[in-house]
Chain A
């Protein structure tokens, strides 16, 4: 970008490296920063620095947190017999929003994805196994709530093979028809999954 002054070009380049930000968006954000007041820019830089310096992973569940154990792991009112395994920390908020689940969490920070070079070694499963071994594993239900795509399914099957020998009950979240969906326009994989996961009413 030779047409911009060096600091501006550098900022655009750095912004372009963020996920979902292309050249145009990077330019727009950079110009916004340029026009913003010094105080606003300082607040943004302080927030960026703060997130890097104060946020860490919970030793128990790998959630992003300021203190370890995190707020969820430290909450004694939660059901210790339920452990929900998810791909990313953002999934915790999605599940919490339902208000239906009151168990604990474990964040894998990814799913098996050979095309991205992510194998079992890259998933954070070591402290999950340790956690289950240290407690009364046979009383715990591990709910695998990885995404319902091929990576998530492969991860779920891999985890069930890893965890079942410990004596835990391993379950998978239901896959199938979305609420508000239309059967006529739903593909065969989704319908067959919904049929597989049907329940008595």
Chain B
């Protein structure tokens, strides 16, 4: 039975039997993997706080070819976001990141840029104690790294290029943004400011985007558009998205 050691981010745990847990984790070397942590609910000795949501850990696990679930042998905590998640708003933000990772990342495919993105965003939430700027950055790059970010400077219906400062429109069934002429009934507005935010975030690091002046309303249309793109791609609704939208 080969034993692997890898850096990983804990995405989710589920109770299994009397005292075990199923752990879904995003490993740096092997992508998204699911495994069993024996006795993790009863004894804190082997896993402690390392299996909490989005914990950055060094994991040792063994894998049998005939089994879907790997066996977690030990877990060393490298970085914890336990304190940050005491805040309900941050806790929803972290759950959202974990849910998007679980739904978007294919099982068993390493994705180092995505791994770095999750750590970067989680650390930014911890540092700034606010979620809207880091989550916007996460949404944008998650969609880009997953390979389905459409062009934000042309109408996906007629191909016309948007003027600087021109607002665009979007609908859940569209693959991109639409222009004024193509919008039709029931489309949502996509502001020119949000297109500028997206441009800046795609061209620079998260640290280069000033965290000041970010309230929920800033780039809300961009997050809604990206959320719809994710849901269209995974063909299901995200559980945590309505909870984020319900935050004051």
Please give the residue numbers on chain A whose beta carbons come within 8 Å of chain B beta carbons, in ascending order: 19-20, 112-117, 119-120, 149-151, 153-154, 156-158, 178, 181-182, 185-190
Contacts and interface: CB of A to CB of B under 8 A. Distances in A.
Give the secondary structure class of A's interface.
helix
A150 B17 contact: no
Interface in B4-63: 12, 15-18, 44-45, 48-50, 52-53
A158 B87 CA distance: 8
A181 B48 CA distance: 11
A153 B44 CA distance: 17
A117 B52 CA distance: 18
B125 interface: no
26 contacts: A19-B15, A20-B17, A114-B92, A114-B96, A115-B12, A115-B53, A115-B95, A115-B99, A117-B243, A120-B88, A150-B52, A150-B53, A150-B91, A150-B94, A154-B85, A154-B86, A154-B87, A156-B86, A157-B88, A182-B45, A186-B48, A187-B49, A188-B80, A189-B49, A189-B77, A190-B49
Nearest to B12: A115
B106 to A, nearest CB: 20
Contacts of A112: 88, 91
A96 B18 CA distance: 21
A188 B85 contact: no
Interface of B: 12, 15-18, 44-45, 48-50, 52-53, 76-77, 80, 82, 85-88, 91-92, 94-96, 98-99, 239-240, 243, 246
Given A114-B91, A114-B240, A154-B87, A187 B15 contact: no
Contacts of B80: 187-189
Contact of A187 (B48, B53, B246): B48
Contacts of B99: 115
Nearest to A19: B15
Interface centre among A114, A158, A178, by most chain B C-beta atoms within 10 angstroms, is: A114
